[in-house]
Amino acid sequence: MDTTFATRGLDDRIYDSIVIGAGPGGLQAAIYLGRYNRDVLLIDRGGGRTSHAHFIENVLTHRLISGMEIIRRGLEQATNFNVQIKTDRVTKIEKDGGLFTVFTAASAYRARTVIVSTGVSDVFPPIEHLHRFLGTSYFTCIDCDGYRTTGKKLVVTGNSLNAVNLALAMKQMFTKDTTFIPYELSLQPSSSEVLADEGIPVVPGKPVRIIGAKVMEGLELEDGTRIACEAVMASFGIRLNDDFLSGLSLKKDAGNAHYVTSSVYESSLRGLYIVGPLNTGQDQVVIAAGEGATAAIDINKQLLEEKEGRGEICSLAEHP
Ligand SMILES: Cc1cc2nc3c(=O)[nH]c(=O)nc-3n(C[C@H](O)[C@H](O)[C@H](O)COP(=O)(O)OP(=O)(O)OC[C@H]3O[C@@H](n4cnc5c(N)ncnc54)[C@H](O)[C@@H]3O)c2cc1C
């Protein structure tokens, strides 16, 4: 046994897998691994993107469920399969001699494999009361919440060409009453033209405040102008929650926006899997969960092969 960990008062166990992030991706992976009777540690700092999702309507068998409820049920389910859960923030990962060490501010844990499912964070502009309405009438994802704006008085705002495309899509699919506010964005003539052709009014200005106590009534611009609206769909980009991966030189795509993984979500570093929007850019419950399950099945296969000291064994799910 390596005594270094024990003498430093650290957890001297070697887990089969450490899962980082308790959103749908990480929870689903942990549940699969727990049901293979693997030693699994799930580390989560709390307050991820799923916790902002108040109304999730596109998950099979749930007419409506909140993100917090998915997390609560997922943690309970994982615990039932003996997954160890720690609330902490991962700061660094190292790999040495086939073993990973996962560091948090106060501790360190070792494992044969790691699943990273830490998701992304929205970039929020400084608009007063934004968080009061986040997930109920201030939205950032057309796949998640576009439908909820159906027939409503909508403002689309954002600081890139993506926001223009978002306004066009929102008008086509959800509401004819769409107004566009370019946020610190000079519109190209071609963008102005297409918005005009589609009958989308453009209001120049910078939203600084959302008006309304419980229900959104409108947006106040920097110059005091008030634009009435019932919902806002915003596009200010996202950032990856991946600062702790910087020491590993993992392969990213050409735009440096996402991690490159295999079809079973293994990164360019053997044994380290990355699921959810960090690799695909798709930030959806069922997609993250499906990737988590796929990664867990592959990890279990890897662990079986390691233990047996054999080469590749066929998938346990394969039928003749
Ligand atoms: C307002 C809103 C509405 C949404 N609506 C829908 C919807 O209707 N349908 C849908 O499918 N999806 C919806 N989503 C997206 C969905 O909630 C998730 O973002 C998505 O399922 C991805 O899950 P994930 O597990 O990859 O990441 P997340 O759910 O983002 O989970 C990542 C976890 O990792 C943790 N973490 C991050 N960094 C660290 C670290 N260094 N150490 C430890 N832990 C860390 C975070 O705290 C978080 O708990 C919505 C999101 C938002 C914001």
Cα distance between the two ends of the chain: 42
Whole-number Å distance, alpha carbon 120 to ligand 1 midpoint, is 7
Q: What is the pLDDT of residues 208-251, one digit of tens each?
A: 999 999 999 999 999 999 999 999 999 999 999 999 999 999 99
Q: Which band of pLDDT confidence, cut at 50, 70 and 90, is reported for residue 4?
A: low
C-beta 27 within 6 A of ligand 1: no
Tell me the fold of 3-122+238-308: FAD/NAD(P)-binding domain (3.50.50)
C-beta 74 within 6 A of ligand 1: no
Distance CA 13, CA 10 (A): 9
State pTM to two decimals: 0.94
Q: What is the pLDDT of residues 6-19, one digit of tens each?
A: 666 677 899 999 99
Tokens read off for 183: 């946020």
Whole-number Å distance, alpha carbon 10 to ligand 1 midpoint, is 29
Q: What is the pLDDT of residues 26-47, one digit of tens each?
A: 999 999 999 999 999 999 999 8
| Domain ranges (residues) in the chain | 3-122+238-308, 130-235
Distance CA 154, CA 285 (A): 25
Q: Which CATH class is domain 130-235?
A: alpha beta
Average pLDDT over residues 160-179: 98
C-beta 67 within 6 A of ligand 1: yes
Distance CA 89, CA 92 (A): 9
* 60-96: b (≥16 Cβ within 10 Å) or e: eeeeebbbeebbeebbebbeebebbbbebbbeebeee
Q: Which of 160, 185, 180, 172 is nearest to 235 (CA)?
A: 160
Residues paired with 138 in a beta bridge: 134, 232
C-beta 92 within 6 A of ligand 1: no
Distance CA 171, CA 163 (A): 12
Residues in the chain, overall count:
320
C-beta 20 within 6 A of ligand 1: yes
Decide if 85 contacts 35 (C-beta within 8 A): no
pLDDT of 320 above 80: no
H/E stretch holding 290? helix 285-308
Q: How many CB atoms lie within 10 A of CB 286?
A: 14
Whole-number Å distance, alpha carbon 238 to ligand 1 midpoint, is 12
Same fold, 3-122+238-308 and 130-235: yes
C-beta 163 within 6 A of ligand 1: no
% residues pLDDT > 70 (the chain):
93
Q: Which of 84, 89, 12, 98 is nearest to 44 (CA)?
A: 89
Whole-number Å distance, alpha carbon 89 to ligand 1 midpoint, is 15
C-beta 201 within 6 A of ligand 1: no
Q: What angle do CA 76, 27, 36 make, to 5 degrees?
A: 85
% residues pLDDT > 90 (the chain):
88
Whole-number Å distance, alpha carbon 134 to ligand 1 midpoint, is 14
